[in-house]
């Protein structure tokens, strides 16, 4: 054994023992209820944009249920990149509001609504969602003031629609402008193992319609299902109690 080896080996052993001691000390933390709640059950997120308005708006804080679709590398902070696939996997349903990472940028969490699943053909025609060659049912509602979510003056009126998917999932969408950039698209066929996601604020959302920016989302990039708004503040920091509750 050389002098160099004698110098290195005690150092390596020392590091190993330190790692073991740290792990032992962390056991109570790792198994504490708050850690388990966030790590395995529900993860909190704050909404940074109005792409999902009116369902979710800037200032909303939501819980995403991690167990809804199983667990993958994106379900856990700092998970190693060699983990692949999902455990206890389940696919999202039509209309689910989900948190996910994209294949284009796996470092950012996105929240959108699932509107098409593997094998589906999806298209936008004149601002209306078309699924498997059938226009999705939508009913016009009274316009509301609130142009800020569309990037215009607060007093600007926004068209609203109630959209209902074939499975009965029903929710509100905003229509900021007529004949918007993404109101007419080609037909997209969702590949196996992926889903197609849209923002409810249809003219102010980067979503699966933009193939170069997001495109089809891999199922293995799901983080969780948004289930509830647990806190909400307006731009002035005032509580919006009426927004807290279950997400549809």
Distance CA 199, CA 65 (A): 19
**Count of residues making up the chain:** 248
Q: Is the peptide bond prior to 54 cis by the omega test (within 30 degrees of 0)?
A: yes
> For this structure, is 112 an active site residue?
yes
Which candidate in 51, 75, 205, 232 is catalytic? 51
Nearest Cα to Cα of residue 173 among 121, 227, 113, 132: 113
Q: Determine whether 122 is exposed, middle or buried from the number of CB atoms within 10 Å of its CB (0-12, 13-18, 19+).
A: buried
248 near 171, Cβ under 8 Å? yes
Among 14, 18, 75, 112, the one annotated catalytic: 112
Catalytic annotation present for 51: yes
The owner of tokens 């959108």 is 112
* Residues with a known catalytic role: 51, 112
């Amino acid at each position: 054994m050389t002098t160099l080896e004698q110098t290195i080996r005690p150092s390596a052993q020392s590091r190993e023992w330190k790692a073991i001691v740290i792990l032992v000390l962390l056991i109570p933390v790792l198994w504490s209820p708050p850690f388990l709640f966030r790590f395995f059950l529900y993860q909190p997120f704050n909404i940074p944009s109005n792409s999902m308005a009116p369902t979710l708006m800037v200032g909303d804080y939501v819980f995403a249920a991690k167990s809804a679709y199983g667990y993958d590398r994106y379900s856990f902070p700092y998970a190693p990149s060699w983990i692949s696939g999902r455990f206890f996997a389940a696919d999202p349903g039509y209309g689910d509001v989900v948190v996910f990472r994209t294949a284009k940028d796996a470092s950012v969490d996105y929240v959108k609504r699932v509107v098409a699943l593997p094998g589906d053909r999806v298209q936008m025609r004149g601002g209306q969602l078309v699924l498997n060659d059938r226009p999705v049912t939508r009913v016009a509602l009274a316009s509301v003031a609130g142009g800020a979510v569309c990037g215009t003056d607060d007093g600007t009126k926004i068209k609203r629609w109630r959209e209902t998917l074939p499975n009965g999932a029903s929710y509100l969408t905003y229509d900021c402008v007529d004949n918007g950039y993404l109101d007419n698209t080609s037909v997209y066929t969702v590949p196996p193992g992926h889903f197609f996601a849209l923002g409810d604020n249809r003219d102010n959302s980067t979503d699966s319609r933009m193939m170069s920016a997001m495109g089809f989302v891999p199922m293995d990039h799901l983080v969780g299902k948004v289930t509830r708004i647990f806190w909400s503040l307006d731009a002035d920091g005032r509580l919006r109690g009426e927004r807290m509750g279950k997400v549809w």
